[in-house]
């Protein structure tokens, strides 16, 4: 995964701001007119063209897109999936996901073009 991320529309700009304040290069769909309102596949294309892995909780839509990419021998810059089982939608959700992404970016140990599920053991 590139050390640059794009946060999908379910994540607030405040997450990108917090990660950027820690020295990371993160953009959020909600604050970027280039991505606002695009279909999922076009968000992934735009993220890939910008060299950014896409962070999303929309697993049900992005896993089939990834499967189509693989079947067509196409690549993307990476997908980081945030499961509601690992990160329940509670009051601490944004803090937990932000902290874990910070640890993941600091470790920089994933592979470009892959699909990874964010785990709490990564840092939160």
> What is Dmax (Cα atoms) for the chain?
40
Q: Where do we find the tokens 């992934």?
A: 44
Q: What is the pLDDT of residue 107?
A: 83
Enumerate the domain spans of the chain.
4-122
β-strand partners of 27:
6
Q: What is the pLDDT of residue 111?
A: 58
3-state secondary structure of 115: strand
Q: Tell me the pTM.
A: 0.91
Fold that domain 4-122 belongs to in CATH: Rossmann fold (3.40.50)
Q: With a cut of 70, which residues of the chain have pLDDT below it?
A: 1-2, 108-112, 121-124
Q: What is the pLDDT of residue 122?
A: 46
Q: What is the pLDDT of residue 3?
A: 79
């Amino acid at each position: 995964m590139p050390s640059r991320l794009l946060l999908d529309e379910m994540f607030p700009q405040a997450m990108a701001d917090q990660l950027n304040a820690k020295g990371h290069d993160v953009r959020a769909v909600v604050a970027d007119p280039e991505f606002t309102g695009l279909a999922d596949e076009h968000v992934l294309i735009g993220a890939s063209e910008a060299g950014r892995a896409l962070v999303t909780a929309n697993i049900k839509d992005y896993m089939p897109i990834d499967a189509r990419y693989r079947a067509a021998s196409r690549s993307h810059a990476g997908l980081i999936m945030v499961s509601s089982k690992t990160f329940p939608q509670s009051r601490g959700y944004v803090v937990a996901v932000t902290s874990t992404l910070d640890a993941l970016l600091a470790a920089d140990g994933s592979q470009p073009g892959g699909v990874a599920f964010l785990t709490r053991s990564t840092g939160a």
